[in-house]
Structure 1
Amino acid sequence: MDGFIQVVAALLMGIASVEFFCAAWLGLLGIIAAVCMVLRKEVGKSRFLGLLNRHVCRLLLFSGLLFICFKLYLDNIGFGKTGFEQMVYFVAVIMGMGKMIPTLPRRINALFSEGEKREEG
């Protein structure tokens, strides 16, 4: 039963780590996009601050979640030490990346097109 739990935990950790890393990375790219848009005068100050706030929070939240998950998984619970667990984790990461990579161009373009939305207020 312990082996089954370790395999399930490795699968979940692999999928979660891809999602959290991607979300944190998009937060960083969102900060860069917001700075580019304000330098090109595509967005006003209030819109820039709103975008910056959202992307900084996203970066901090998901990178923090990624750190906490690894800390719990590796140190507190003690999983991820066997070769089989690492292989299951690797397969789960590959599956998660296969699902996530095709959506990246659209998601990155959306970050840079946020300036096209009209400012409210």
Structure 2
Amino acid sequence: MQFKLSVATLALATLAAATPTRRTGGSPIPASQCTTGPVQCCNSTEAASGPTASKLLGLLGVVVQDLNVIVGITCTPITVIGVGGDSCTSQAVCCEDNSFHGVVAVGCTPVNLSL
């Protein structure tokens, strides 16, 4: 088990796959200001250095330059906001890199769906 963790840590330290810019400010942006793709609904979010995010990033071989960047975990796109039952009961975010098939989304900023 420790060998697998060491390999994942080594992969995290040596591969370069994602280099999102850290967004500042804690207040959510309006969903209409998300220009990087569809707004995502993630089960949770945490810093890349967090226990779940760092493990998933390591398993995927994703390296981020800033360990404080926010990572969305288990995300699905919200395609139509405010129509039908399409909403997010977890964390709605706008992310810079959504190319990991919903497992993680990197460089996320909270989104206010009602704005």
Task: Give TM-score scaled by structure 1 length.
Answer: 0.22
Question: Which structure is larger by alpha-carbon Rg, 1 or 2?
Answer: 1
User: More strand per residue: 1 or 2?
Assistant: 2
TM-score (norm. length: structure 2)? 0.23
Greater helix content: 1
